[in-house]
Structure 1
Amino acid sequence: MAKTDRLFRLLHLIRGLTPPITAARLAAAMEVSERTIYRDIEALRAAGARIEGEAGLGYTMTEDPALPPQTFTQLEIEALVLGLSEVQARGDAALGGAAADALTKITATLPERQQRQSVRAINLVHRFAQPHAPAVDMTLLREASWAEEALEITYRDNSGAVTTRQIQPLALAYLDTVVMLLAWCCLRQDFRQFKVGAILDARRTGQSFRPRRVPLLREFVDRLRARRQELAQRD
């Protein structure tokens, strides 16, 4: 691991672990020697990080130069903790881990009083039933959407029929109990919503549909909104 990457990772650990943090604990997490931890902490201090403590006692970060100071109201802190906790509970492993890392970084920018408020937030998330892990790689779906790259998927519909089709992925929608992939279906030449749990396989094609994703998604959302209004009027 390059030294710069190692220092960023060490900073992230010091932000997230409960102080005081011993060099032995950091060395185990980083898979390096304690001597390397001592040298890296001195490098971080030289770069402006205020890290109190010493060998044998443990370390505490009192000021983080890598992150600008932030300030939030207590209700905003509660909203951040609740929202990111929901992502950890609802998302796949990669998305949940990203939410945990984001919360750690945000908390590290807060004044000490607000850090305590985030740790003692009153809004908690707990799910008795964990969502089933989909067969398809969620990271692949996200990266194809970001890159605006068509996918070839194998899909089982509600009747049990299995088809292979090319789609242009637009967005992932997290509903109450399922995750839907919103896409343009090249087979049907129309918008479709695919249950992620029913996607048996997905492969990147290398075929770009840039810059169509944003206008396609906007049109899809407009259609869904119009459909909801139509159904509401019938009621």
Structure 2
Amino acid sequence: MPAPITAARLAAATEVSLRSLYRDIDALRAAGARIEGERGYGYRLVEDYALPPQTFDRAEIEALALGLAEVRSMGDPVLAEAAASALAKITATLPDDREQYLVHAISQVFRPTSRYEPSPHMETVRAACWREEALRIGYADKDGAATERVILPLAVIHTDRTQTILAWCCLREGFRMFRADRLQHVDPTGTSFRPRRAVLLREYLSELDQRRSPATGNDRDERV
């Protein structure tokens, strides 16, 4: 039986804080994983049927490592922490040989700077998407002209340069893209548009199919 692995070593290997690591271990135990050990001693995952070893092959593990590393480097601190936590949970379920593939993945992400500056409003936007709740936003177009809008947020789009919110704009009565770096304020309204989100997304995809042409860059103020 392998020796316990210290919390410090696990935290360093998965690039999370000790606090996050302890929280993840508690979450795995709550989900039924048999993890022996305690703080100050070390931890060992006992294989059982509650949490069977993952059967990812080497290429799949490379893809997981690369994808999570990319999320950590984007510039969104909430998603970066979530990616690190997910990596720790996946690592804990892998057999020893597969764990080494993940911890020492050959595919790496290097960005001297984050892809974009973090927006203080994105967690509110994501929560509203999941809750299907309308938002009141202050938004500045590319020329700096400010408007107040009520939007129905549908999805967050990650491009090479910015986070963009796909939404139904109640002011324009149409689908619009709002750049996260142009949001001036974001306030929940408490008004639900459930269960319209799935329907609106289908309508938007249908519009894209009908246009069948790439963006020209000569968009209106709230488009990207």
Q: TM-score, normalised by structure 1?
A: 0.74
Root-mean-square deviation (Å): 3.0
Q: How does 1:1-235 map to 2 (within 5 A)?
A: 16-17=10-11, 49-51=34-36, 58-63=41-46, 67-130=51-114, 131-134=116-119, 136-227=120-211, 229-231=212-214
Distance 1:68 1:139, change over 3 A: farther
Residue type at the aligned position of 2:208: L
1:32-65 C-alpha deviation (Å, 9 max, x unpaired) = xxxxxxxx9xxx7xx983536x997x32313266
Aligned letter for 2:85? Answer: D
Q: Distance in 2 between matches of 1:26 and 1:127?
A: 25
Rate the CA distance shift 1:15–1:101 in 2: closer, same or farther, 3 A: farther
Q: Distance in 2 between matches of 1:160 and 1:26?
A: 43
Contact 1:15 1:104 in 2 (8 A): no
Unaligned runs of 5+ in 1: 1-12, 20-24, 31-39
Give the Cα separation in 2 of the matches to 1:94 and 1:75: 27
TM-score normalised by the chain length of structure 2: 0.77
Q: Contact 1:169–1:181 (CA<8 Å) still a contact in 2?
A: yes
Distance in 1 separating the partners of 2:35 and 2:142: 58
Task: Identify if the C-alpha distance between structure 1 residues 15 and 73 changes in structure 2 by more than 3 Å, giving closer, same or farther.
Answer: farther
Identity %: 44
- By how many angstroms is 1:14 displaced? 8.1
The code of the aligned residue for 2:146 comes to V
Query: In 1, distance between residues paired with 2:33 and 2:208?
Result: 51
**What SS does the corresponding residue of 1:170 show, helix, strand or coil?**
strand
Pick closer, same or farther for the CA change 1:197–1:118 going to 2, 3 Å. Answer: same
How far residue 230 of structure 1 moved from its aligned partner, in angstroms, is 3.4
- What secondary structure does 2:206 align onto? helix
- Distance of aligned partners of 1:93 and 1:155 in 2 relative to their CA distance in 1, 3 Å threshold: same
Question: Which one has the largest radius of gyration?
Answer: 1
Q: Following TM superposition, where does structure 1 have runs of at least 4 consecutive aligned residues deviating by more than 6 angstroms?
A: none
Pair 1:225–1:87, CA change in 2 (3 A): farther
The answer as to whether partners of 2:33 and 2:51 remain within 8 angstroms in 1 is: no
Paired AA for residue 36 in structure 2: I
Aligned length: 196
